[in-house]
Amino acid sequence: MTITAAVHPTTIHRADCETPTNPRTICYGPAMIRRLDRWIGIRLFHPPIIWLCQRTGMTQYAVARYGWMLAAWTLVMRISFEGVGDWIFAVLVILVTVLETWRAAVTPDAPALRADGLRIIILLFAAFDVGVLVVVSARDGFPGLRWGHAWDLFALTAEYAKTIRTIPPRVRKLGRAAAGSKSTLLPARVQPPRVG
């Protein structure tokens, strides 16, 4: 008597989780986090970044530089000067902010290296911040957003902007007036003169 195990059609080997061909593939561990990271980037962050680049003419690298600049400025907004350690942190944050502002002003379009590990760490911090916000909101009512949430948003926008390879050209839609009068604006087809 032979017993065969039925394999669920969506379960595949761990090696296949890196580049799954089946979107219903179940992956666990680091592969699941990478797939979640890719899904969040493609579905949530890429569309507004591409929209911003198409409307303003910026490159994705400029969006990344400006995102890190804004993230650094949110750190400046969180500074408190109560202890000696706070002063050291304040000086360090102000130096980083000046550096990021200078980089955004001087070299906004310089290609930036992707840091997938850093992006996943920021994503985990953002998930923790949102989880704390949900728990506190359920217990005491909505307390409002903090500077940490703004930092998470700007840092994730900057890191996901680096993952975009090319910005597609903007598709312009014709309005009703332009679409209706389109045929009258085109010149009539000119026939070549007949010879002979």
- Which amino acid does the sequence have at 122? I
- Residues 53, 59 contacting (CB under 8 angstroms): yes
Residue 108 class from Cβ within 10 Å (0-12 exposed, 13-18 middle, 19+ buried)? middle
190 contact partners, CB below 8 Å, separation of at least 6: none
Q: pTM surpassing 0.75? A: no
Structure-token pair, residue 44: 């949530």
- Spans of all domains in the chain: 14-165
**Region label for 22, one of left (φ > 0), alpha (ψ between -120 and 50) or beta (otherwise):** beta
pLDDT tens digit sequence for 27-79? 777 888 888 899 999 999 999 999 999 999 999 999 999 999 999 999 888 88
In this prediction, residue 178 carries a pLDDT of: 57
Residues of the chain with pLDDT under 70: 1-26, 175-194, 196
In this prediction, residue 30 carries a pLDDT of: 81
In this prediction, residue 171 carries a pLDDT of: 83
In this prediction, residue 179 carries a pLDDT of: 57
Dist CA 20 CA 163 (whole Å):
19
